Chains A and B, each alone.
Chain A
Amino acid sequence: MNESSFRVINVGIPTFGETLRQQGAHVADVDWRPPAWGDPGLIDCLERLEQPAVDEANARVFERITASRPYLVGVARAIEVVPGMRPGLILHAGPPVTWEQMCGPMRGAVIGALIYEGWADTPSAAEEVAGSQVEFRPCHEHDAVGPMAGIMSWSMPVFILENRTFGNRAYCTLNEGLGKVLRYGAYSGEVIARLKWMEEELGPALERAIQQSEGFDVRAAIAQALHMGDECHNRNKAGTALFLKWIAPYLAETADPGVAARAMRFIASNDHFFLNLSMPCCKAMMDAASNVPHSSVVTAMARNGREFGIRVSGTGDRWFTAPASSVRGLYFPGFGPEDANPDIGDSTITETAGIGGFAMAGAPAIVQFVGGTVHDAFTYTRAMYEITVGEHPVYTLPNLDFRGTPTGIDVRKVVSTGILPHINTGIAHKLAGVGQVGAGLVSPPREVFIKALAALAEY
Chain B
Amino acid sequence: MVRKTLVRKGVFYDSVTLMRVSEAVQRLPGVRYAAVLMGTELNRALLADRGFAVEAGEEDLVIALEADSAAQVEDAAKTVELLLEKRSKKGIDEAPRSVRAAMHMLGGADLCIVSVPGRYAVREANEALRLGMDVFLFSDNVSIEDEISLKREAAAKGLLVMGPDCGTAYIGGRGIGFANVVRAGPIGVVSAAGTGLQEAACLLDRAGFGISMGIGVGGRDLSREVGGLMTLAAIDRLAQDTATRAILVISKPPWPEVAARVMKKLEATSVPYACVFLGQTSTDGRAVPTIDEGCARLGELLGIGLEAPAAPEPRRAPGFVFGAYAGGTLCSQAAYIFQLLGRAPATNLSAPWQDQELCSYRGDVLLDLGADEYTRGRPHPMIDPATRADLLRRALLNPSFSVLVFDVVLGLGSHPDPAGELVRAIGAAGQDLASRVLVASVTGTDRDPQVRSAQEATLRAAGVTVCPTAASAARFAAEAAGRERK
Contacts and interface: CB of A to CB of B under 8 A. Distances in A.
B97 A30 contact: yes
Interface residues of B, number: 61
Interface in B49-101: 57-59, 87, 92-101
Contacts of B57: 37-38
Contact of A30 (B96, B111, B175): B96
Contacts of B10: 37
B116 A12 contact: yes
Contacts of B14: 12-14, 32
Contacts of B93: 379
Contact of A31 (B92, B104, B114, B124): B92
Max count, chain B CB within 10 A of own CB: residue among A1, A25, A33: A1
Interface in B184-205: 184
Interface string A25-36: 110111111110
Given A13-B138, A417-B97, A28 B110 contact: no
A12 B114 contact: yes
Interface stretch (B166-174, B325-333, B458-466): B166-174
B172 A6 contact: yes
Contact of B106 (A2, A9, A419): A9
A8 B174 CA distance: 11
B96 A386 contact: yes
Max count, chain A CB within 10 A of own CB: residue among B114, B139, B184: B114
B113 A9 contact: yes
Contact of B109 (A28, A32, A34, A38): A28
B113 A17 contact: yes
Interface string B154-186: 000000000000000011111111010001100
A3 interface: yes
A412 to B, nearest CB: 12
A20 B120 CA distance: 23
B179 A19 contact: yes
Nearest to B59: A38
A6 B97 contact: no
Nearest to B124: A11
Contacts of A379: 93-94
A211 to B, nearest CB: 46
Contacts of A188: none
B123 A30 contact: no
Given A23-B175, A379-B94, A11 B99 contact: yes
A18 to B, nearest CB: 8
A30 B115 CA distance: 11
A273 interface: no
B323 to A, nearest CB: 27
B95 A6 contact: no
A104 B101 CA distance: 42
B17 interface: yes
A14 B116 CA distance: 11
Contacts of A413: 98
A25 B115 contact: no
Contacts of B171: 6
A10 interface: yes
A450 interface: no
Contacts of B412: 19, 22-23
A16 interface: yes
Nearest to A46: B123
Given A2-B184, A35-B123, A385-B104, A12 B176 contact: no
A15 interface: yes
A237 B105 CA distance: 32
Contacts of B105: 28
A122 to B, nearest CB: 48
Interface string A275-299: 0000000000000000000000000
Nearest to B173: A1
A7 interface: yes
B113 A16 contact: yes
B97 A34 contact: no
B173 A6 contact: yes
A34 B111 CA distance: 21
Contact of A1 (B106, B139, B170): B170
A383 interface: yes
Contacts of B17: 14
Contacts of A10: 112-113
A8 B111 contact: yes
B59 A33 contact: yes
Contact of A32 (B12, B87, B128): B12
B174 A34 contact: no
Contacts of B138: 12-13, 16
Contacts of B433: none
A37 B12 CA distance: 10
Contacts of A17: 113
Max count, chain B CB within 10 A of own CB: residue among A6, A7, A379, A418: A7
A1 B110 CA distance: 16
A39 B10 CA distance: 13
Nearest to A47: B123
Nearest to B181: A23
A6 B184 contact: no
A418 B59 CA distance: 11
B115 A12 contact: yes
B413 interface: yes
A35 B120 contact: yes
Nearest to A376: B93
Contacts of A8: 109-113, 176
B210 interface: yes
Given A31-B97, A38-B58, A2 B173 contact: yes
B103 interface: yes
Nearest to A413: B98
Contacts of A47: 123
A226 B108 CA distance: 28
24 contacts: A1-B173, A1-B210, A8-B113, A8-B176, A9-B111, A9-B112, A11-B116, A12-B116, A12-B139, A13-B16, A15-B16, A20-B176, A28-B106, A28-B109, A29-B102, A30-B98, A34-B58, A35-B123, A38-B57, A38-B58, A40-B119, A43-B123, A386-B97, A386-B100
Interface of A: 1-3, 6-17, 19-20, 22-26, 28-35, 37-40, 43, 47, 379, 382-383, 385-386, 413, 416-419
The 10 closest A-B pairs by CB, nearest first: A38-B58, A12-B115, A1-B173, A1-B184, A33-B12, A31-B95, A6-B172, A28-B102, A19-B412, A13-B115
